[in-house]
């Protein structure tokens, strides 16, 4: 939102108001009117901005990562849809259906995810090779909600959590600023189970947030989370269902937040944190 009034304009206006008051040429009511108007001009956009952020409820009990939503904290908050198709078409409910919830405590974000996926496949056993072409859960997180490019930096992360629960992404190393595919298993703990009755897959994940000073193998600590912290977050599922010559490829990519395409391309989350959903810890 743009302002048409500068801080110096406001100071000058307030000085005039004070001078008029000191000269007692106007009533208190007439004096207060511009002051109130200025206050509303400043407060309204700030309030509107805060309102635009999706609140994440706080967990008041420990969350055990066991793919079971037995903690009463999971009763908090509404399910959020995973229905934005970034890649692919002709998706049926059996092919993919998903919904999720988020919680937070001082140590991390917690995600509960329910997925229907007709075929689970993992043909790339090495987590450093084409990890996005197997079925995987992709967690996009921007620790300070800054937005901006993160493809080759730690300004934000795009963790790909595979069926083997290895966590892959790319970024600099402690010895080089050159970006490299790596595993970040200490950042995301997860467990999943497929119901024998409904075939719904329940994932439970603990996602530690690291800020943009993070470097691997340096003993970096995750951020301590607190109320009203603003972050960027998005979820997407990489759905592969078949292998061609022994290797699967991503057939569908379905996410949680609408992305405006660039020349038809909606697969922007892995490089641009500005497309993540603005959220706030409450």
| Residues found near Ca ion in the complex (CB under 5 A) | 64, 66, 68, 95, 117-119, 135, 142, 144, 146, 155, 204, 239, 241
The residue whose Cβ lies closest to Ca ion is 146
Q: Which is nearer to Ca ion, 41 or 193 (CB)?
A: 193
| Closest by CA position to 145, among listed 11, 276, 49, 47 | 276
Least distance CB 25 / Ca ion (angstroms): 51
Q: Which is nearer to Ca ion, 105 or 241 (CB)?
A: 241
Least distance CB 204 / Ca ion (angstroms): 5
Least distance CB 128 / Ca ion (angstroms): 21
- According to DSSP, the residues that pair with 162 across neighbouring strands are 136
Q: Which is nearer to Ca ion, 123 or 144 (CB)?
A: 144
| Closest by CA position to 136, among listed 118, 122, 151 | 122
CA dihedral 60, 143, 161, 170 (to 10 degrees): -160
End-to-end CA distance of the chain: 24
Least distance CB 17 / Ca ion (angstroms): 40
Q: What is the DSSP string of 121-145?
A: -----STTSSGGGSSEEEEEEETT-
Grouping H, G, I as helix, E, B as strand and the rest as coil, residue 107 is coil
How far apart, in Å, are the Cα atoms of 205 and each of 108, 117, 251?
Answer: 10, 18, 24
Q: Which is nearer to Ca ion, 204 or 272 (CB)?
A: 204
Q: Which is nearer to Ca ion, 119 or 215 (CB)?
A: 119
Least distance CB 165 / Ca ion (angstroms): 15
Least distance CB 270 / Ca ion (angstroms): 14
Check if the beta carbon of residue 180 is closer than 8 Å to that of residue 187: no
Q: What is the DSSP letter of 227?
A: T
Q: Which is nearer to Ca ion, 135 or 169 (CB)?
A: 135
Q: What is the DSSP string of 44-97?
A: HHHHHHHHHSEEEPBPSSPPP-SS---SGGGGSS--EE--EEEE-----TTT-E
């Amino acid at each position: 939102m743009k302002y048409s009034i500068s801080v110096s304009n406001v100071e000058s206006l307030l000085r005039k108001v004070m001078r008029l008051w000191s000269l007692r040429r106007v009533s208190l009511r007439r004096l207060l009117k511009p002051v109130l108007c200025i206050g509303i001009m400043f407060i309204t956009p700030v309030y509107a901005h805060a309102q635009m952020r999706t609140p994440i409820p706080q967990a008041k009990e420990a969350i055990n990562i066991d793919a079971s939503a037995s903690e009463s904290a999971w009763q908090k908050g509404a399910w959020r849809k995973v229905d934005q198709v970034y890649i692919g078409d002709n998706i049926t409910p059996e092919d993919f259906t998903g919904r999720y919830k988020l919680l937070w405590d001082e140590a991390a974000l917690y995600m509960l995810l329910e997925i229907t996926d007709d075929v689970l496949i993992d043909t790339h056993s090495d987590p450093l090779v084409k990890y996005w072409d197997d079925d995987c859960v992709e967690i996009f997180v921007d620790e300070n909600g800054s937005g901006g490019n993160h493809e080759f930096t730690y300004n934000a992360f795009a963790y790909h959590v595979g069926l083997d629960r290895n966590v892959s992404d790319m970024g600099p190393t402690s010895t080089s600023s050159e970006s490299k595919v790596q595993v970040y298993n200490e950042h995301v703990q997860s467990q999943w189970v497929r119901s024998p009755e409904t075939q719904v897959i329940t994932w439970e994940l603990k996602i530690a947030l690291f800020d943009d000073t993070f470097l691997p193998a340096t003993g970096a600590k995750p951020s301590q989370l607190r109320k009203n912290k603003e972050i960027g977050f998005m979820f997407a599922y990489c759905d592969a269902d078949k292998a061609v010559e022994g290797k699967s490829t991503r057939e569908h990519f379905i996410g949680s937040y609408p992305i405006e395409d660039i020349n038809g391309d909606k697969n922007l989350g892995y490089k641009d944190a500005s497309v993540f959903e603005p959220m706030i810890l409450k």
